[in-house]
Amino acid sequence: MDRITSMTTFAAVVAVGSFAGAAQRLQMSPAMVTNHVRSLEERLGARLLNRTTRKISLTEAGRDYYERCTQILAQIEDADSRVSALTSAPRGTLRINASTVLCHGLATLIGDFGATYPEIHVELIATDRMVDPVEEGFDLAIRFNEAPDSSLIVRRLGQFRIVACAAPAYLEKRGTPRQPGDLAQHNCLAYMHPGFTKLTREWTLIGPEGEEVTVPISGSFHTNSLEAIRLAVVEGRGITMSQTYHLEEAARCGQLVHVLPDYHLGEFPIYAIYPHRAHMPVKLRSFIDFAARHFAEHPKWRLPELLPSRRLARRAG
């Protein structure tokens, strides 16, 4: 007899608790269910079930075999689902949660994804707190810190750095920092974030050899709005620390310049966090795979070696 069918039948008997119930679930005769279980026991040379007129129970060998059966059958079903996903069109609503810091950078990803999968409607919700995807009804979360709940699946999608930048007009007027200590003489516009208020007082930069340099900073403008800081810097009001995905486009069109290119404020991973599901929805699998390719290939997510930078000081006058 077919071994996979026999394993499926045995697992159904254990799950339902009776041969008759398994027969009804699998739409086969009780005699056929009995034959499949007997075939397994003869093949294995071990009794898997203890049978009485009122109930069945697993033997020690049966318990071990049942655990392995369920794992194997789940893997087979997952393989089938992956193949089916290649031929079925993903559709439906995909609810994504992302940290506020990352949300702006995800616009291009979601736009490209929507063009590729027009039958998927994306809802993107920004929160600074870590959410529970299961309890709050999200298909996945995109964060730069791992989930505290170990039952969730975490997949690394990419990374970004936080680097210093300023408008060319500001640097023409105030000069370009040659080394981290020079920042103390500049108007430093800082992002205010809960738990990171020290960023308004000092920046700890990481150098080319991994060394850390802490410098005091001061500035005329602090905010928790990334867009407000970006506009202020583009207007030539000071130097700020920016995520590389914010800087890339502005740098390429000449609005901003990457300063102190040998230093950065930190490098952070980007994670997809989602519930463990034996049968991942096609829409979710499609998005995660698409996002991984996007973060690997799109220039805005590359590390900043390719960004225009200014290494030499330029003084006004």
CA distance 30 to 24: 8
Residue 313 reports pLDDT greater than 80: no
- As a whole number, the mean pLDDT across the chain is 86
Which of 148, 84, 137, 142 is CA-nearest to residue 113? Answer: 142
Q: pTM higher than 0.75, yes or no?
A: no
In this predicted structure, what is the pLDDT of residue 205?
94
Answer whether residue 247 shows pLDDT above 90.
no
3-state secondary structure of 61: helix
Q: How far apart are CA 19 and CA 1, in angstroms?
A: 18
Residue 120's beta-bridge partner residues? 92
Q: Which domains does the chain have, with CATH numbers?
A: 3-87 (1.10.10.10), 92-159+268-298 (3.40.190.10), 161-267+304-310 (3.40.190.290)
Whether the pLDDT of residue 88 is over 80: the answer is: no
Residue 194: pLDDT band (50, 70, 90) is low
Check: CB of residue 98 under 8 Å from CB of residue 106: yes
